[in-house]
Amino acid sequence: MVILPMIYLSMPNQAYARNDNLLALDLSYSLTSLLNHGWGVGLNYERNIFDFFSFKGNFGHMTFLTSINNVYCTSVHISLFANYYPLGGGLDKSYIGIGNGCDFMNYFGNGELPDNNQDILIHITPQTGWKFKVMEYLMIDVSIGYKFIISDTQNYRKIKDYVNDGLRFGLNFHIFLPYITAVR
């Protein structure tokens, strides 16, 4: 229900989706939050620095139900990835990358709340994957990586619904949004 309006809104703007500079909705946040009885949205921006190298910044926000009855979590995620494209020539190819991210989490509700109702989790994630365009305004990103949590709290050990360390398989759908870019 949420995906169709986003696709519809992005369709007239497909001319803005460039191969070396993209701003996109990241639907993995929406899917994760829906699976946990909540809502969320993600946004990422990736830009080629050289033919084989890019930086990607992610921002995500979700509110969802945790594993503790009547306890909800609001989270904000920010991360920065450096990606290497061995085949070169754009952002719709095979890549190898590493990223560092931070999740700010706040717990609320009328259930049994943790003593400290906030968490800050810091993680590093090496990953590899392949991005390919399905349509001019839609890209699919299939990836595999391993998330290392390098800083956590007691709450994280009790509530593990959002940020999970370990092996991660990803299937992300990116819908390009309109933006203005300078001509290179």
**Where are the chain's structural domains?**
3-176
Give the C-alpha separation, 37 to 163, whole Å: 16
3-state secondary structure of 52: coil
Beta bridge partners of 41: 61
The pLDDT value given to residue 6: 44
Least confident of 11-20, 95-104, 153-162: 11-20
The pLDDT value given to residue 4: 44
Could you tell me the fold of the domain covering 3-176? Answer: Porin (2.40.160)
pLDDT in tens, 25-48: 777 778 778 887 889 998 888 888
